[in-house]
Chain A
Amino acid sequence: SQQGEEDPQALSIQEGENATMNCSYKTSINNLQWYRQNSGRGLVHLILIRSNEREKHSGRLRVTLDTSKKSSSLLITASRAADTASYFCAPSVAGGFKTIFGAGTRLFVKA
Chain B
Amino acid sequence: EPEVTQTPSHQVTQMGQEVILRCVPISNHLYFYWYRQILGQKVEFLVSFYNNEISEKSEIFDDQFSVERPDGSNFTLKIRSTKLEDSAMYFCASSEPSLSSNEQFFGPGTRLTVL
Q: Give the contacts of A41-61 with B (CB-CB under 8 A).
A: 41-45, 48, 50
A88-B43 CB under 8 A given contacts A43-B106, A98-B33, A99-B102 = yes
B24 at the interface (CB under 8 A from A): no
A101 engages B43 (CB within 8 Å)? yes
Chain A contact surface mostly:
loop
A42 engages B56 (CB within 8 Å)? no
A45-B103 CB under 8 A given contacts A97-B56, A98-B33 = yes
Q: How large is the interface on A (under 10, 10 to 19, 20 to 34, 35 or more residues)?
A: 20 to 34
- Please report B residues at the A interface, Cβ cutoff 8 Å: 31, 33, 35, 42-45, 48, 50, 55-56, 58, 89, 91, 93, 99-109
- Please report A residues at the B interface, Cβ cutoff 8 Å: 30-31, 33, 35, 37, 40-45, 48, 50, 88, 92, 94-104
